[in-house]
Amino acid sequence: MAHYESGVERRRRSPWGALALVMLTGLALMRNGADVTMGPPQPAAAAALNGRAANASSSRPAAPVQPLSFAPASRIRIGEIKVDAPIMDVGTDTQGWVKAPPPQDPNLAGWYQNGVAPGMRGTAVVVGHVDNATGPAVFYGLGSLEKGNHIEVDRFDGRVAVFEVYGIEVYDKNAFPGTRVYGDTGHPELRVITCGGGFSKSHGYNSNVVVFARLVATK
């Protein structure tokens, strides 16, 4: 687990462009899907980002919340889909690919530790498997979320960052819009990402489900 003291240095060494590249390649690795007959739920059309929501100005919360300082993430809770899972730090391997959470543990998420901490100004990123070889995993139900649902992220400083969902999109892994997903809106935001879309035994899932959420409260 990363120490608080190293957080500032990590952020200095991690420009957003590198984060986008790392997360794109890392998510492409999460393809160890089980042969689930119905497949995970896909986002409803009503949950999609509207035309303005992708712009920094439109992602501004109605009542801005004071951003938190750096602290590693420890747990994520999403009541609507019964997620209550520990978060591990994930970094990169020797080839520069992100290390996804071990697929053997279905109830485990990963926070990209070289990026923004949840609750800080900027875009924090949490990833997790949709399923594994035995069945559904931590973010299997992610696509069923709706606008207005809340996501709580516990931090190792004892604070809790509360985010509100304002859009859910599915992007083909071969055309993943890194700037749109990871770009800094100027406010504390969260992206929760898993696999989705079409599935084949030979290539796994062909897309990523991306939940867009903004900070609306802290505890």
Decide if domain 4-218 falls under CATH 3.65.10.10: no
- The SS3 call for residue 85 is strand
Q: How confident is the model at residue 161 (pLDDT cuts 50, 70, 90)?
A: very high
Measured between alpha carbons, how far is 43 from 108 in angstroms, rounded to an integer? 22
| pLDDT attached to residue 91 | 76
Q: Dump pLDDT digits (tens) for 117-160.
A: 999 999 999 999 999 888 999 999 999 999 999 999 999 999 99
| pLDDT attached to residue 31 | 45
Q: For residues 19 and 208, which has the higher predicted lDDT (pLDDT)?
A: 208
Mean pLDDT within 42-48: 87
132: Cβ contacts below 8 Å, ≥ 6 apart: 32, 33, 34, 103, 104, 106
Other CB atoms within a 10 A radius of the CB of residue 161 amount to 27
Residue 44 has pLDDT above 90, yes or no: no
- What residues pair up with 165 in beta bridges, in sequence order? 213
Q: How confident is the model at residue 26 (pLDDT cuts 50, 70, 90)?
A: very low
Q: Dump pLDDT digits (tens) for 171-219.
A: 988 888 888 888 899 999 999 999 888 888 878 888 889 999 999 999 9
Least confident of 7-21, 55-69, 97-111, 178-192: 7-21
Q: Dump pLDDT digits (tens) for 78-121.
A: 999 999 999 999 976 665 455 779 999 999 999 988 889 999 99
24 DSSP assignment: H
Question: Between β-strands 109-112 and 83-90, what pairing exists: parallel, antiparallel or unpaired?
Answer: parallel
State pTM to two decimals.
0.82
Percent of the chain with pLDDT over 90: 49
